[in-house]
Amino acid sequence: MPKLIRAAVVPEPGADFETMDVLLDDPRAGEVRVRVEAVGICHADIAAREGTTPFQHPAVLGHEGAGVVETVGAGVTSLRPGDRVVLTFASCGACASCRSGLPSQCVDFLSLNFAAGARPDGSPTLWHGDTPLHGHFFGQSSFATHALVTERNAVKLPDDAPPATLAPLGCGIQTGAGAVLNVLRPAPGGSVAVFGAGAVGLAAVMAARLTQAAQVIAVDVNPGRLALATELGATDTIDARTADPVATIRKLTGGGAGHVLESSGNVLVFRQAVDAAAIGGVIGIVGAPFGREAAVDVADIVNASKRIVGIVEGGGVPHVFIPTLAALHAAGRLPVERLVTTFPFDRINDAARAAASGEAVKPVLLL
């Protein structure tokens, strides 16, 4: 029988979250029901609430959940009731990318994480009364007391793992840290410039300091975020309100940064990130507003042998990379807690406003 749970529902695009009782389906084969203890709020949740991403309403969002396995469906072998897990993005497990260990390049990534709002076969997982809700957001819809996920997107962590701190590993921290450690991979003595000092950008700064990069440069328009970036390991910061970031990065690095990450999602900033890269530099982009186009100087890209790389969810394998990040946090080398501000679940609208305004770097709801 479906389980009665509490969830934050967005009835229509742009509306506030409404906390209400809903029904969650029982796990089917390969599925797991998780009692959510904490869930981060990410920009993708805000964008989906506003209707600027391809997700239908009424919707239950949330995709940085952490909690405890309550029930497992048939065929689940890697998890059992009582296991503590972090929830991450969904992937099919069957396409060529998934079989090659590249789940972030899953051929069905958009439908599984955004567009469908239901299981791959079209069956809903959530109802309000007799009305199906659009759920399965990032394979979880964890703005709720319980979430239905698959074995593929629930990552087991140690029993003593702190859920409020580690919930953001499922998306934001994995994205920023993975972009640096898995994709950009700065060489010893190299330079890394990070545009945007939100949760993703600051995760990238922390990760860059784990490498042997000599320079880690953070760019933002928020002085508080830049101060935090310095505390987390940035060697230099640039306030883009008062300084030209491209000219400043070129001056600091002697010609341009060898590795650049654009995390703001602003297409004008993306152009700056491309222009700030050195000859032979690599520009990673993780901020991805749907339906937007960016102008770049093609001759500069060609003549300077620059490479632009799209990076989804940090480009890693979650069941390997998320435990690695958790271990780094436990060792005091990845202080994710410096980014987190907690809110009770019933204050989700306050938390969303804090995320949208920049007041909180990473709001985390406690259930």
Q: Burial letters for 285-304: b for 16+ Cβ neighbours within 10 Å, e otherwise?
A: bbbbbeeeebebeeeeeeeb
Using an 8 Å Cβ cutoff, are 116 and 133 in contact? no
Q: What is the pLDDT of residue 287?
A: 77
CA angle 192, 194, 196 (to 5 degrees): 175
Q: What is the mean pLDDT of residues 179-192?
A: 97
Per-residue pLDDT tens over the stretch 82-133 = 999 999 999 999 999 999 999 999 999 999 998 779 999 999 999 999 999 9
According to DSSP, the β-strands at 59-60 and 31-40 are: unpaired
The full 3-state SS of 249-311, as one line of letters, equals HHHHHCCCEEEEEECCCCHHHHHHHHHCEEEEEEEEECCCCCCCCCCCCHHHHHHCCCEEEEC
Q: What is the pLDDT of residue 127?
A: 96
Say yes or no to pLDDT of 290 above 90.
Answer: no
| Among 202-206, 264-268, 319-323, 329-333, the least confident range | 264-268
Q: What are phi and psi of 183, to 5 degrees?
A: -115, -60
Structure tokens at 213: 């990069």
Distances (CA, A) of 133 to 44, 57, 77, 98, 246: 18, 7, 29, 28, 46
Residue % of the chain over a pLDDT of 90: 92
CA angle 106, 197, 289 (to 5 degrees): 45
Residue % of the chain over a pLDDT of 70: 100
Give dist(CA 85, CA 71) in Å, integer: 13
Residue 6's beta-bridge partner residues? 21
Structure confidence at residue 309 as a pLDDT band (50, 70, 90): very high
pTM: 0.95
According to DSSP, the β-strands at 18-24 and 277-285 are: unpaired
Residue 330's beta-bridge partner residues? none
Say yes or no to pLDDT of 29 above 90.
Answer: yes
DSSP code of residue 26: P
Strands of the sheet containing 257-262, edge to edge, are: 236-239, 215-220, 191-195, 257-262, 277-285, 307-310
Give dist(CA 311, CA 347) in Å, integer: 32
Give the containing element (helix H, strand E) for 351. helix 348-357
Using an 8 Å Cβ cutoff, are 191 and 258 in contact? yes
Say yes or no to pLDDT of 326 above 80.
Answer: yes
- Kindly report the average pLDDT of the chain as a whole number: 96
Q: What is the mean pLDDT of residues 325-336?
A: 97
Q: What is the pLDDT of residue 192?
A: 98
Structure confidence at residue 157 as a pLDDT band (50, 70, 90): very high
Give dist(CA 108, CA 323) in Å, integer: 25
Structure confidence at residue 289 as a pLDDT band (50, 70, 90): confident
Closest CA to 163 of 279, 67, 43: 67
Say yes or no to pLDDT of 199 above 90.
Answer: yes
Q: What is the mean pLDDT of residues 138-148?
A: 97
Say yes or no to pLDDT of 356 above 90.
Answer: no
Say yes or no to pLDDT of 225 above 80.
Answer: yes
Give dist(CA 314, CA 327) in Å, integer: 17
CA angle 354, 40, 153 (to 5 degrees): 155
Q: Residue type for 268, please?
A: L
